[in-house]
Structure 1
Amino acid sequence: MSQSHQLNRASWDERAPLHAASVDYEVERLVSERSHLSETVRFDLPLLGDINGLRTAHLQCHIGTDTLSLARLGAHVCGLDYSAASLAEARRLAARCDTPIDYVEADVYQADQALPAGHFDLVYTGIGALCWLPRIEPWARAVAALLKPGGRLFLRDGHPMLMAVNEDHQDRLQLEYPYFEHEAPTVWHTDQTYVETDQRLTQTETHEWNHGLGEVITALLAHGLQITALVEHQSLPWEALPGQMVKGGDGEWRLRHQPERLPLSYTLQAIKA
């Protein structure tokens, strides 16, 4: 296990209970309102379409709010994550909502060893997942291995152009970080997570990697997936560029001025041939 892997997993283990307790993840609303869906899945729904009855693998599922939402849409869902603390929160949420969801602790690169290969109608990856992966090719291999022939990948993530922008400049968009996959990670140090909480983290170092749009597509094509849709969005669910963004009624953040300048996220869909 690499140092980056250890650092990131420790960070997610510490964040998980803070995220579950925050208003941002809407855990209590999901429990009290049995038809409520997570903000992420509500955004995805027009492109996701009808998933009722689909055998679905949710990769890097974190505390399971999106996983639960997929189940509420009728999917037979299994969630996978490498953070034991995240999965503990996910299982607790599923139990409180009386929703049968299988959760498996494993690294996403070994997803097809932890879950039945060639079994799934849908592989779903929620926003903010790919930046934690050093290389995109092993992820694409695992996705392809999980899908049955005709099965679909649904991916929404932060746009690699956004990930290359330095958020410290609040008066301009300035590219300072790698756009393309790069062996050395971008190293971050902070004692804060991205939800509202008074608690400070002790696991303060995390490592991230960017993956260019062409790199993601090429990796999927190389493992037998056919790209069926690619939509670039002018919004995403967090304030990625403080001081330059405004939050809409849908919970999505957009550039305050000239939002057409920069794609903030993208949705990619692919089918296994």
Structure 2
Amino acid sequence: MSDSIALNKANWDERAVLHAASKGYDTASFVADPRHLSGVVRFDLPRLGNIAGARGVHLQCHIGTDTLSLSRLGAHMTGLDFSPGAIAQARLLAQRCGAQVEFVEADVYDAAQVLSPGSFDLVYTGIGALCWLPSIDRWARTVSELLKPGGRLFIREGHPILWAVNEKHRDALVIEYPYFERKEPTVWDSNTTYVETEGSLTATVTHEWNHGLGEIVTALLTHGLDITALVEHDSVPWEALPGQMSSSPDGEWRLDKDAWRLPLSYTLQAMKRRD
């Protein structure tokens, strides 16, 4: 195991327990209301369309709230994550909800080895996932390996230009971090996470990599997928730039000043070629 994976796994094992108990993930609402969906999935309902009966896999599923939401829309879902702590919480949530969702512990790059390659109608990746992967090309190859011909990739992610902005500046948008993928990771050291939690982290060091939008599109095209939709959004589901954003009634956060200055997230869809 590389140092980066070991560091990130330790961090996400701790986050999983804190997130499962947090108001931000609101697992109680999933248990109380069988129609409840995560904010991330709810945001993209018009673009998701009818997925009833589809065999889907959610890569980097974390504690499974998006995976469970897709299951509630009628898809037969499997969630995959490299964190045993996250998988444990995901399985517990599914059990509490009486949901038939399978969760598998594995690195995303190993997904085609531990799951059935070429058998999925839908590969889903939620927000805040790709920045933990050192190679976007390897990710795209994995997606292609998992999908049936004609199968669909659906991803909503933080925009790579957002990841390049230094959030510590509260009166300006300052690009200080990489936009393009680099071999060396950006190293972070923080005992907090992106939602309010009761406790703090002890595994504080993490490694991340950005991937430009063109790099993502090119990787998917290279591995046999054609882009069918790409929408850039002026919002994200958390306060990504503290002091410069406000929450909207839809649960999304937008810039207070001139939201048209910066794309904050995007939704991308692609289909695996049939030939």
Indicate the residue corresponding to 1:102 in structure 2. Answer: 102
Q: Distance in 2 between matches of 1:242 and 1:96?
A: 34
**Distance apart, 1:226 and its partner CA:** 0.4
Q: Deviations over 1:179-210 (max 9, x none)?
A: 00011111111111122123111001011110
1:151 counterpart SS class? strand
Q: Is the 8 A contact 2:18 2:198 kept in 1?
A: no
Q: Could you say which residue in structure 2 is the equivalent of 1:257?
A: 257
Letter in 1 for 2:241: L
Separation of aligned partners in 2, 1:212 and 1:197: 31
- Matches of 1:34 and 1:166, distance apart in 2: 39
For residues 93 and 236 of structure 2, what CA distance do their matches in structure 1 show? Answer: 25
Q: Distance in 2 between matches of 1:255 and 1:154?
A: 25
- Local SS of the residue matching 2:180: coil
1:162 maps to 162
Q: Classify the secondary structure of the residue corresponding to 1:210.
A: coil
- The 1-side partners of 2:214 and 2:197 are apart by 37
Q: Percent same amino acid among aligned pairs?
A: 66
Amino acid at match of 1:107: D
Which residue of structure 2 aligns with residue 112 of structure 1? 112
What does 1:147-158 align with in structure 2 at a 5 Å threshold?
147-158=147-158
Q: TM-score, normalised by structure 1?
A: 0.99
After TM superposition, what 4+ stretches of structure 1 lie above 2 angstroms from structure 2?
none
Partner of residue 174, structure 1: 174
Structure 2 distance, partners of 1:258, 1:155, is 26
**Residue matched to 1:66:** 66
Partner SS for 1:86:
helix
Secondary structure (helix, strand or coil) at the match of 1:198 reads coil
Deviation for aligned residue 1:138: 0.5
1:1-273 matches, cutoff 5 A: 1-273=1-273
One-letter code of the match for 1:121? D
Task: Give the length in aligned residue pairs.
Answer: 273
Q: Unaligned 5+ residue runs, structure 1?
A: none
- What do you get for the CA RMSD once the two structures are aligned? 0.6
How far off its partner does 1:114 sit?
A: 1.0
Q: Which whole-Å deviations, capped at 9, do the CAs of 1:55-89 have from their partners, x for residues lacking one? A: 00000000001111000000000000000010001
Classify the secondary structure of the residue corresponding to 1:150: strand
Q: Read off the aligned partner of 1:246 and give its amino acid letter.
A: S
Worse-superposed segment, 194-203 or 147-156:
194-203
Q: What's the CA shift string for 1:128-183, capped at 9, x where partnerless?
A: 00000011000000000000000000011000111111111111111110000011
